Amino acid sequence: MEIAKPYLMFLGDVHDQLAAKTAQGVVDWRPDWCVGQLRLPGCKADCGLKDVSIDEAVKLGAQTMVVGVANAGGVLPEHWVAEIVTALEQGLDVATGLHKRLNSIPEIADAAARHGRKLHDVRFSDQAFATGKGTKRPGLRLLTVGTDCSVGKKYTVLALEKEMVAQGLDAAFCATGQTGVLISGRGVAIDAVIADFISGAAEWISPANDPKHWDLIEGQGSLFHPSFAGVTLGLLHGAQADAFVVCHEPTRKTMRGVQHPLPTIQQVIDRTILEGSLTNPAIACVGIAVNTQALGEAEAERYLAAVTEEHGLPATDPIRYGVAPIVAEILKQFPR
């Protein structure tokens, strides 16, 4: 899946900013790819882009309209369908992370066929993958893992990409989730792949590369999550991670969506090394990324100092303090 850039961000008429979370993620990390935002009357979200019409977006060079909003129930309102059809007629491709497939809506499928435009449903994967080979391939790979789902695994790799590129390293974000695919313009929502092909899809996401190149692979789920650990393990095996960063949210009491308690950071380090060594015996932890949003400044600093001390590895909050300490550890363990 390769999505043509730049994007027009479609925000519809959603009722709050949270509903535009996906769009905001794209704007945060790829501002240069966003020529503007299209908002319908009544829209309460704002990604801080210039408000433009489809026509203006086309003139600004937009190639794809990204429907980066989630509405209640995941259905596509009639009046959004009309806007999508207009975009296709004006020569844009359309990409969404909605639960409903664009080509399951006859008006949209017809318009796309008539105008030769592409429809990208990033929540689905129709691609045929090979099963995982398990053979080591050239290039360096870092994977984020977590004590739970939704603890900052995507944010952390994107922050690492920014910092590593700023330091002159050859590094690229590899998306494995729907928002990530829109941010990257490429990738696969790995939880949407047929189970037999999880590790094969992970190998496809991060193919053989230059020996000094870092693929920074967005992690998914947790080896300790009873709903999703299979995805996490297949991704770990396919990624053949040389390095990993543990992501953690210190105030969470139970794992997302279930009653299970969170594992400790040390348990995640140990289990990731144990399982990851099947396809890369040299796998090593290079840091801990903590989402300290719920902690005060002093408390966050104390917490990070304690985690650093306990594990002998840099612990930081990528949003609050950046990821420079983790990049330093990467360069220590993997010299340029």
Q: Which residues bind a second copy (CB under 8 A)?
A: 131-135, 190-196, 198-200, 224, 226-235, 237, 257-260, 275, 278-279
Nearer to a second copy, 48 or 261 (CB): 261
For 146, phi then psi, to 5°, come to -145, 160
CB atoms closer than 10 angstroms to residue 173: 23
Minimum distance from CB of 313 to a second copy (Å)?
23
Nearer to a second copy, 150 or 227 (CB): 227
Nearer to a second copy, 194 or 294 (CB): 194
Nearer to a second copy, 56 or 275 (CB): 275
Minimum distance from CB of 312 to a second copy (Å)?
24
Nearer to a second copy, 149 or 157 (CB): 149
Show the CA angle centred on residue 156, arms to residues 155 and 161, nearest 5°: 100
Nearer to a second copy, 63 or 199 (CB): 199
Nearer to a second copy, 131 or 293 (CB): 131
Q: Which residues of 177-190 are buried (b: 16+ CB within 10 A; e: fewer)?
A: bbbbbbbbbebbbb
Minimum distance from CB of 177 to a second copy (Å)?
11
Minimum distance from CB of 175 to a second copy (Å)?
15
Q: Report the length, in residues, of the chain.
A: 336
Instruction: Encode 18-77 in three state secondary structure.
Output: HHHHHHHHHHHHCHHHEEEEEECCCCCCCCCCCECCHHHHHHCCCCEEEECCCCHHHCCC
Helix axes 324-333, 153-166, angle to 10 degrees: 70
Helix/strand/coil for 142: strand
Contact 192, 179 (CB under 8 A): no
Q: Write out the H or E segment, with its range, that includes residue 89.
A: helix 78-89
Helix/strand/coil for 121: strand
Minimum distance from CB of 176 to a second copy (Å)?
11
Nearer to a second copy, 24 or 176 (CB): 176
Minimum distance from CB of 74 to a second copy (Å)?
13
Helix axes 198-205, 229-239, angle to 10 degrees: 40
Q: Sort 321 into a burial class: Cβ within 10 Å, 0-12 / 13-18 / 19+.
A: middle
Candidates 248, 250, 256, 245; CA nearest to 313 is 245
Nearer to a second copy, 235 or 304 (CB): 235
d(CA 213, CA 140) in angstroms, rounded, equals 6
Minimum distance from CB of 236 to a second copy (Å)?
9
Minimum distance from CB of 11 to a second copy (Å)?
27
State how far the alpha carbon of 183 is from the alpha carbons of 23, 238, 274, in Å.
Answer: 9, 21, 31
Minimum distance from CB of 101 to a second copy (Å)?
14
